[in-house]
Every structure is written in structure tokens, then in C-alpha cells.
């Protein structure tokens, strides 16, 4: 086993001797180095005081904050009778505000003109027939009534 020399600051050495008089520095160092080598880094530690930070709790809190903000924004959209396209835009814009790396480059989903036309045609086809056999959207204004046009009466021949 190789022999190593390590240097410890005087203040740290005095503190260790006072607080942990029976500590075997070689064993403590070997155990710590072994733990570092197989560590998966799933814990955060404060650089100043070495206190452990619950990484999962930090992530959960941020995800919860994102979710609550998203639902509030979507609620506004729903009350304005927004679309799924609008919901996608709201989600992407909020992700950009939260500095999600891929959010800026994400292309918003949109139907093609053909898909949109087919969907609208299906909506119209599913509507009940009116008396005049024309399918009309329930929110559409009634067609303007045509005024009879005055045409010249043919002259009678004698």
C-alpha cells in the first residue's frame, strides 16, 4: 500500500483533534475517497457548510411551480374559448420563461390546411339539417333574405 503525505490547514487540524480525538485520518480519507468513486451524485451539498440538499425535493418544487403556472395560463385560454394550438403556444412560452433549454427551438404543432379543412368539413357534416336542407353552423348568422328584383314586364304585342 503506498504511503501518501497530505497537508491539512492548522485550524482544521486543531478542530478535528478537539472534536474527533479518536478519528483515524487514513481510514476516514480512504472511506471518503471510496464513496466519491462510486457516487452517483444524486445529492447536492452546500459548498459553504456541507449540508445536504434534497435534490428530489428541489426538482419537485420547481415542477409543481411550473404546473401551477401552466394551469393558470391554460385556464385563461379556456375562458377565452382558446384552441389546442393556443394551449401549445402557452405551454411553450411558459417553458421559455422557466429557461427550459429546448423550448425556444420547439416548433409548435399545427394542422395542415388539408387537415383543418377535413376537420371543419366533418363538423359541418355532423350538424343537423335545417328546414332548407342547408347545413349551417349554429353560431352563423342567418343568410340575408333576398329582395325580389324588379324586372321589366314584357310588352304585349298587338
Determine the Cα–Cα distance for residues 59 and 34; give it in Å rounded to an integer: 28
In this structure, the dihedral spanned by the alpha carbons of residues 131, 132, 133 and 135, taken in order and rounded to 10 degrees, is -90
What backbone phi and psi angles, to 5 degrees, belong to 45?
A: -130, 135
Q: What is the pLDDT of residue 68?
A: 92
What digits encode the pLDDT tens for the residues 58-67? Answer: 888 999 999 9
Return the DSSP state at 98: T
What backbone phi and psi angles, to 5 degrees, belong to 141?
A: -75, 150
Lowest mean pLDDT among 20-34, 76-90, 97-111, 143-157: 143-157
What digits encode the pLDDT tens for the residues 55-111? Answer: 888 888 999 999 999 999 999 888 888 888 889 999 999 999 998 999 999 898 888
What burial class does residue 21 get, using C-beta atoms within 10 Å of its C-beta: 0-12 exposed, 13-18 middle, 19+ buried?
exposed
* pLDDT at position 144 over 70: no
Cβ-contact 73, 94 below 8 angstroms: yes
Amino acid at each position: 500500500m503506498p504511503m501518501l503525505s497530505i497537508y491539512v490547514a492548522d485550524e482544521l487540524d486543531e478542530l478535528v483533534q478537539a472534536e474527533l480525538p479518536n478519528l483515524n485520518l487514513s481510514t476516514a480519507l480512504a472511506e471518503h475517497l471510496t464513496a466519491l468513486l462510486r457516487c452517483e451524485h444524486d445529492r447536492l451539498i452546500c459548498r459553504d457548510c456541507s449540508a445536504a440538499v434534497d435534490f428530489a425535493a428541489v426538482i419537485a418544487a420547481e415542477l409543481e411551480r411550473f404546473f401551477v403556472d401552466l394551469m393558470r395560463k391554460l385556464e385563461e385560454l379556456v375562458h377565452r374559448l382558446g384552441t389546442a394550438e393556443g394551449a401549445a403556444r402557452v405551454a411553450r412560452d411558459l417553458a421559455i420563461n422557466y429557461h427550459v433549454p429546448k423550448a425556444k427551438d420547439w416548433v409548435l404543432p399545427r394542422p395542415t390546411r388539408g387537415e383543418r379543412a377535413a376537420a371543419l368539413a366533418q363538423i359541418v357534416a355532423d350538424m343537423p339539417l335545417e328546414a332548407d336542407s342547408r347545413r349551417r353552423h349554429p353560431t352563423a348568422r342567418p343568410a340575408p333574405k333576398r329582395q325580389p328584383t324588379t324586372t321589366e314586364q314584357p310588352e304585349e304585342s298587338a
